Structure 1
């Protein structure tokens, strides 16, 4: 008979995620203020690193009249990749990775649905607060002046243009949002599955995943929220189009991280049905609900 560790190789991942979920459930309840603070820190980190992303783009655009824009795009995406590293090692709370975590918990019914929803709502609220804090600081500085601001404005125009393009633009935005959180949570899967022990390797995985989404042009709900906040406070923004963008991206991010990673691996590593047919294999994949 096959070894369960081969049949269900993601059991360590599921166990780790459910343990993390237990901590987040407790924090978002009795320690909601601290959970909001940790979420705000993630939003602030995204804000600083996204600002860095555009600063790198602007720097390379200023060199040789834009002839090195391609190189700048690569370097900027690599720099932005450190955002996930900083969030993970500072124990901050990011909405998009929590989408995967709460979905695993929902599948195994370890936590009431309203507690799972509370985690997501509080996390996104904190992410918004942190991003807004950075946006206010930028407003009272020269950080977004000149070509940096121009790069950010171009990015906002591009993101809002998906909405004005009609159904084809909406579907394009939706697919980019799905693939974005697929990559983010693919990195978290590799970090949580217990096979990568070295911190440098974990960092490399996280940087690589964010590089892909930044370089290819995927859409991240929290990053977009922060960018819209910065540009909106600087010179205004079409709020309706911005909210439309965020609505589509939030849904796409959930499908990419929550369903394609969270639900997929939760189901694929659920040994409970198998154990009913093979009771002699008593090693459980996850705690029984």
Structure 2
């Protein structure tokens, strides 16, 4: 039996372009970040936007009021909370630039616990929600930068920006062609590389994580690629007491990052 042709109404909306940011918290963080914003759209009848509009006005951002359904089509989603903004693309750095900025141009001193830099390395994560959540955690712990695979991984899309609650606007990000090669350069810059691995002998709580570190979070399902795993100086596992054998990538990454920051600031 031949399937009926889909009607125009049943076709999914086109995804929002990376330069379009929507949702109240992501738009506020965008305005606070200093990235150029050339237009703000507000749904007619949307309430509670006074602080956001005041911030936009102080920066001279033009505001256009549109029907809610128009805004939904523009965003490719109804989850815009009544506001969207068009900004310059999320700026990306070369790995050299990121390392220079993360270390102030100086090689981190081994065991430096006063201002130890922290890098987050994402090894081919493909779920925008996971990537966004990890970027949000990276910003929350004050990470010095984030390194992501340029291919076979989620791009810094509107969905990632939204999932990060706008944290992406405050991060240094570099996308690299080879995560394994990037780890070699990171190590040459004075960082120890720590990978989260469920089968590791050493527990997260037993490891010394107090120096300049790069934390690697593996892809959903398969974890770190073998070559990336071999580049790690240390593998750590998160203790598990329940019946499930693993955690969501963004949850596991958050636990490791917070333990690293705890040790870097208290040891």
TM-score bracket for this pair, using the shorter chain length:
under 0.3
Where is the helix percentage greater, Structure 1 or Structure 2? 1
With normalisation by structure 2, the TM-score equals 0.26
Where is the strand percentage greater, Structure 1 or Structure 2? 2
